[in-house]
Structure 1
């Protein structure tokens, strides 16, 4: 049975765009910022979008489970048997939003029996929507224009002088020197949103995205991994094992992934995985050496 009707897909696109427009409107005015934890912030905008997205998803899919970053009371539902679970990140890249940068997104992704099957990622600043999954294909739309196929672009294979890698600031600080020593051609870059980073890989701006600090949660990954898999990318850990979206790979309290995350083109994953493993081993004390 298909996961979506055509009408539901269209309604999801409209919901994501409306939420993005809300973010843009609220960004033009003063908003409150709160500290949830160390280096972890939330704004009034996150919370408003959470309510808007959750209400919209509930109307469209009343039988589905909905879990949102900004509603901790919903997190326990992950452990409850459910064929369909939505994961909502109202603002992926909150730091960028707070500082007036453009690299943030509104995201919603669906797990069906603990596998990512579909995702929607909307970048409000550029008015760009990306959505799809293995079942429905990949699409992009700018503004109110009709959606067009999103065609994945594989970059040139890694070579002695070309190896674009997406690596976040914290991971660059801890692992960047070791990776650069083992992969001299590595060219690091990063933007705020997890989802937009994955889209950069899909669109050929980098060969892979490496995430090592085990802070990323299910609402960060479900939508972009659904798109990445539909694009033919490899989504694995440092052992080359598939990313797990069941309880054996997820922290029960925080819903954080317990695996390091690699999302990339097979040519990059195959060529770079041994060096990435070695770099992490060199940087991690023995108790932390778990791939």
Structure 2
């Protein structure tokens, strides 16, 4: 796998973050898609920045974004290598102004996210990495390697869950674990907390799409963690159905 310079991808992610913050800091309107998920000018603006930036940086690699049209959604089924983008992951968090939203950029090869970058504009914090490539966190101008911390027997499970989609099925999944410390949080930040060693488990028994998970999965796998379906099989990408099955992210 060959990657363009990480600094150039970071520049694209940060430019998208700037576009998001420009909207975030003023009054904005909210539209709703057919599935009733929210859409703002920030989603659209970040999409334009990322698609243009990646097209200039890697013109030979196509881009699939959450805000791509139906033509791209159909074309991507023939792609072996492409950028998978969520320009604003956590639009509900954006609308509620709690800061828990991210810019997600992943490189997918052969149905697997091999590298990813997650940027949290409000936190000005960035994570990137991939399996066998390591994982890193950049904050305050300093980049450092990060590593998961698996659960220690005899201690409560440190679990992250969705702020908006903590389903009954998820609660039932957690029940046999006994004592847990549960932190609710939006967007792909949940994966990044596990990657940094701040939690051990994120079960997702509620709907997500591939662009919600690709970049953060790559970061978590680079940090030594895993993301699998409930039966333990890998979470696959570029499926005919863009929806993910239920999955568990682990340290």
TM over 0.5, yes or no?
Answer: yes
**Which of 149, 152, 155 is 2:144 aligned to?**
149
Show the counterpart of 1:220: 212
* TM-aligned CA deviation for residue 131 of structure 1: 1.1
Show the counterpart of 1:270: none
**Which of 200, 216, 230 is 1:238 aligned to?**
230
Question: Following superposition of structure 1 onto structure 2, how do residues 38-53 of structure 1 map, counting pairs within 5 Å?
Answer: 38-53=35-50
**Which of 107, 126, 129 is 2:123 aligned to?**
126
* Structure 2 unaligned regions, length at least 5: none
Equivalent position SS for 1:139: strand
Distance 1:173-1:114 versus aligned 2 partners, 3 A rule = closer
* TM-aligned CA deviation for residue 69 of structure 1: 0.4
Higher normalized contact order (CA 8 Å, seq sep 6+, divided by chain length) = 2
**Which of 169, 175, 185 is 1:175 aligned to?**
169
- Asked if residue 210 in structure 1 is aligned to residue 196 in structure 2, the reply is no
- C-alpha distance in 1 between matches for 2:145 and 2:169: 32
Q: CA RMSD in A?
A: 1.9
- C-alpha distance in 2 between matches for 1:170 and 1:21: 25
Distance 1:67-1:177 versus aligned 2 partners, 3 A rule = closer
- C-alpha distance in 1 between matches for 2:9 and 2:41: 23
Distance 1:231-1:66 versus aligned 2 partners, 3 A rule = same
Q: Which has the larger radius of gyration?
A: 1
**Which of 93, 98, 113 is 1:96 aligned to?**
93
- C-alpha distance in 1 between matches for 2:119 and 2:126: 4
Q: Structure 1-normalised TM-score? A: 0.80
Q: Structure 2-normalised TM-score? A: 0.91
More helix by share: 1
**Which of 34, 39, 52 is 1:37 aligned to?**
34
* TM-aligned CA deviation for residue 38 of structure 1: 4.4
Q: How many residues align?
A: 250
- C-alpha distance in 2 between matches for 1:185 and 1:229: 26
Q: Contact conserved, 2:217 with 2:226, CA < 8 A, in 1?
A: no
Distance 1:129-1:77 versus aligned 2 partners, 3 A rule = same
- Asked if residue 72 in structure 1 is aligned to residue 74 in structure 2, the reply is no
Equivalent position SS for 1:154: coil
Runs of 4+ in 1 over 6 A off after TM superposition: none
* TM-aligned CA deviation for residue 177 of structure 1: 4.7
- C-alpha distance in 2 between matches for 1:70 and 1:166: 27
* Structure 1 unaligned regions, length at least 5: 266-291
Q: Contact conserved, 2:148 with 2:225, CA < 8 A, in 1?
A: no
Show the counterpart of 2:243: 256
Q: Contact conserved, 1:33 with 1:41, CA < 8 A, in 2?
A: yes
